[in-house]
Structure 1
Amino acid sequence: MSCGEPHETDCDEVLAEVWLLLDHECGEERDAQLRRHLDECGPCLARYGLEEKVKMLLARTCGGDRAPEELHSKLRERIRATVLEQAQVSVERTPSGTVVEVNQTRVETWRRT
């Protein structure tokens, strides 16, 4: 999706990371970039609002039940993997270290919480 306007951050990138933003799982700099985009892009802001409402509805209807930590961890890892895949970033963990290949010009640092 794209609104057709030029932005610092591409609409597709923002929408791919909307759940990370909603769950406060972005670093401060990335959070600010995504929010700047939402401030200037009506279609993405509308999509963000829809996702935010879905999240609130899920929280309300689940009655405060919390998923097991193992499931939570697996979901978080899968979301990160999907975001990296959509951003064309590959990460390979080897015995000698981690190899990161970026196929676009954007580089992001992930903090483990």
Structure 2
Amino acid sequence: MSCGEPHETDCSEVLAEVWLLLDHECDADRDAQLRRHLDECGPCLARYGLEEKVKRLLGRSCGGEHAPAELHQRLRDQIRSTVLEQAEVTVERGPGGTVVEVNQTRVESWRS
């Protein structure tokens, strides 16, 4: 997804990391970068707001019960994998560090 406006961080990259932001799993620099994007991009901010509401609803619906740690981790991994797949983002971890690749298709339209 892209709103069509130029940003320091691409919309699809931000949306792929929305749950990391919601769960406070980003380092301070990445958190600030993602929040700057949300401040300037209405469509991404709306999507962030929707995900935030889903997270709160899930929290209330669970009634304070805690899932076993293993289930929690499997769900978190599956959600992250699905979000990255939908955003066409690949993450490769290796001894040299982590490589993140965002596949983008740019669509432009012209008016005469």
TM bucket by the smaller chain? 0.7 to 0.9
Gaps of 5+ in 1: 105-113
1:39 equivalent to 2:34? Answer: no
How does 1:1-113 map onto structure 2 within 5 Å? 1-79=1-79, 86-92=88-94, 97=95, 100-101=98-99, 103=101
**In the aligned structure 2, how far is the partner of 1:36 from the partner of 1:63?**
33
- The RMSD of aligned alpha carbons is 2.3
Q: Provide the secondary structure at the position in 2 that maps to 1:88.
A: strand
**In the aligned structure 1, how far is the partner of 2:100 from the partner of 2:25?**
21
**Aligned residue identity for 2:26:** C
Contact 1:38 1:45 survives alignment (8 Å) = yes
Contact 1:88 1:102 survives alignment (8 Å) = yes
Q: Provide the secondary structure at the position in 1 that maps to 2:37.
A: helix
Cα gap change, 1:28 to 1:62, in 2 (>3 Å): same
User: How many angstroms does 1:82 deviate by?
Assistant: 5.6
User: How many angstroms does 1:74 deviate by?
Assistant: 2.6
**Aligned residue identity for 1:89:** V
The count of residues paired between Structure 1 and Structure 2 equals 100
Cα gap change, 1:83 to 1:90, in 2 (>3 Å): farther
**Aligned residue identity for 1:29:** D
Q: Provide the secondary structure at the position in 1 that maps to 2:93.
A: strand
Instruction: Give the TM-score taking structure 1 as reference length.
Output: 0.74
Contact 1:84 1:90 survives alignment (8 Å) = no
Q: Percent identity?
A: 72
Deviations 1:70-107 (A, max 9, x none): 12223334455567764333224xxxx56645556xxx
Deviations 1:20-44 (A, max 9, x none): 1001011111111100000000000
